[in-house]
Copies of this chain bind each other. A is one copy, B any other.
Amino acid sequence: MSDTRSGRRGGGREARRAARVHAVVEHEPFLTRALKPVELISEEGLAILEHNADTILEEVGFEVRGYPTALERFAAAGADVDGDRVRIPRGLCRSVIQASAPAEYVQHARNPVNSVQIGGDATVFAPNYGSPFAHDLDAGRRYATIADFENFVKLAYLHPHLHHSGGTVCEPVDVPVAKRHLAMVYAHLRWSDKAFMGSVTAGERAADSVELARIAFGGDLADRTVMTSLINATSPLVWDATMLAAAEVYAAANQATIITPFILAGAMAPATSAGVAAQTLAEALAGMTFIQLVRPGAPVVFGSFASSMSMQTGAPTFGTPEPALVLYTVAALARRLGVPFRSGGALSASKLPDAQAAYESAATMIPTMMAGTNFVLHAAGWLEGGLTIGYEKFVLDADQLGMMATFAKGLDLSENGQALDAIRANPPGQHFLGSPHTLANFETAFYRSETADNSSFEQWTEEGGRDAAQRANRLWKERLAGYEPPAIDDAIDEELREYVARRNAELPDTVS
């Protein structure tokens, strides 16, 4: 597989590489917000939620399942440990985290021009994560494969507004579970050179991820964070051995983790937004404290994933107002704590890249951006409550990310932006199409959508009367057809493949 694709890179390889590097340099490796985050909740309101989170940690505490060393770490730090239950004195988590967790960090990419800042005024968009199914207009919905996985790694690599290659972009269900992480990490390292996420489904898979990263990046990672991986709580108020083990491996290796309570409100937390926010804070404080106890200073991101619920069926719902309120609230709580914040995504329950999908995605992504979120998983491709990644949805979502990058620059109040001389020179009733100011600004004046059709009805009809999904279908095929892999040192690629082959030989072909 890799040989075939490498073979395409003969001939004008250097020229193409130079062109690619040039292209990469022209766009921004991450989005820098000129706009301040929107504060929807008062200082008093946020202080109440912080107090409630501490009350939860102190009175209810949380459970650590099957991971005794974590209990020992918490006890040593001053927690009250009773069996599996950990109760933490008011303020302890905050002081542990604030003593050592960085407010922001750089996640290095294999190509240094793609390294991303996580935290502060930066926002990093990463693709969909974790879907067992894939969808496109031609084949419909089916189980995702490693070929789908590689396709989405390539599509994210090619798109200027996806800053990050993500992690389990989809589940490659044709690869045995015990070996999947090797195939996925290799794909990120080989078919992209953007930053990526490691495996979290077992401690040893996290360790494999670290080893592969060591090979790809060359040597010790202690001074370089090159992975940001997703650690979910088992809400309400449980941390399990799988997640803690993976988190511990990453933290010990100075690699970043996103500590994320994953809450379907009404099921894993109370049905009210303020309840969800306080519990999210409590759970995240516990997880982030664990990281700092493993290795003070290890980068850690405060994550939040909250959805509402259908009253008819109990199914998760997306794009509703309540999770948007939670998002603004928890983003503000993360800022007050002083750590980077992860939330959001182009979330939808729709099965198709239709109006529901777009309305729901926008209703999460716009708050994500306005709240000043630092790391955005699921920024492109998510369908069906996360069960499915969609090719057309990916293309449509990615276009929206470009719009957000422009919006986040805010209002240009430079002399050119004010355009007062242009207005002075233009008599009433005369259009500005020929104004020197318009001509000077036209190329960059407006975001140019990749997917929107703005032509006349007649022209649109003549061109086939395609809807947005049909146009996106054509776009992802064109992009994949034009894909060329990023350069990699042949010796490094060889070493990565040897590592993967050796571990594949050691690991079983089990399906779970």
Chain A interface (Cβ < 8 Å from any Cβ of B): 35, 38, 40-41, 45, 48-49, 52, 55-56, 59-63, 65, 85, 133, 141, 234, 236-238, 265-275, 277-279, 308-311, 313-317, 319-322, 324-325, 329, 349-363, 366-367, 370, 384-385, 387-388, 396, 400, 403-404, 406-407, 410-413, 416-420, 422-424, 426-433, 435, 437-438, 441-443, 445-449, 451-457, 460, 465, 467-469, 472
Identify 10 new A-B residue pairs, CB closer than 8 A, beyond the known A41-B410, A55-B424, A357-B468.
A236-B426, A270-B432, A271-B445, A274-B412, A317-B446, A325-B411, A349-B454, A356-B468, A359-B359, A359-B396
Chain B residues near A361 (CB-CB < 8 A): 359
Contact of A265 among B141, B352, B445 (CB under 8 A): B445
Alpha-carbon gap, A52 to B443, bound state (A)? 25
Of the candidates A62, A313, A321, the one having the most CB atoms from chain B within 10 angstroms of its own CB is A321
Q: Which of B56, B237, B447 contacts A308 (CB 8 A)?
A: B447
A422 partner residues in chain B, CB cutoff 8 A = 270, 275
Known: A272-B418, A418-B275, A424-B59. A358 touches B362 (CB 8 A): yes
Is B41 touching A38 in the complex (CB atoms < 8 A)?
no
Q: Can you list 24 A-B pairs with a CB-CB distance of less than 8 A?
A: A49-B418, A59-B424, A60-B428, A133-B457, A270-B419, A270-B438, A271-B438, A272-B419, A274-B412, A274-B419, A275-B417, A314-B433, A317-B454, A320-B406, A320-B446, A321-B447, A349-B452, A350-B453, A354-B354, A355-B358, A355-B472, A356-B452, A359-B396, A360-B452
Nearest neighbor of A35 in chain B, beta-carbon distance: B40
As for how many copies of this chain the complex holds, the number is: 2
Q: Which of B308, B385, B457 contacts A446 (CB 8 A)?
A: B308
Query: Are A274 and B418 in contact (CB-based, < 8 A)?
Result: yes
Give every chain B residue within 8 A of A454 (Cβ-Cβ). Answer: 310, 313, 315-317, 349, 385
Q: A275-B419, A411-B45, A427-B60 are in contact. Are A446 and B309 (CB under 8 A)?
A: yes
- Distance in angstroms between the alpha carbons of A270 and B367 in the assembled complex: 29
User: Are A236 and B267 touching (Cβ within 8 A)?
Assistant: no
* Whole-angstrom distance between the Cβ of A378 and the nearest chain B Cβ: 16
Residue of B nearest to A361 (CB): B359
When the two chains form the complex, which single residue of B236, B356, B417, B424 contacts A273, counting CB atoms closer than 8 Å? B417
| Nearest CB in chain B to that of A354: its residue | B467
Complex: chain B residue closest to A443, CB-CB: B311
Across-interface contacts of A35 in B (CB, < 8 A): 40
Contact for A403 among B56, B59, B320, B448, CB less than 8 A = B320
What's the Cα separation between A313 and B417 when bound, in Å?
A: 23
Q: How far is the CB of A307 from chain B (nearest CB, A)?
A: 9
B457-A141 in contact (CB<8A)? yes
User: Is the pair B423, A275 in contact by a Cβ cutoff of 8 Å?
Assistant: yes
Contact between A278 and B420 (Cβ–Cβ < 8 Å)?
yes
Contact A271–B446 (Cβ < 8 Å): yes
**Does the CB pair A453–B349 fall under 8 Å?**
yes
Please name all residues of chain B whose beta carbon is closer than 8 Å to the beta carbon of A349 when the two chains form the complex. Answer: 452-454
State A469–B433 Cα separation when bound (angstroms).
37
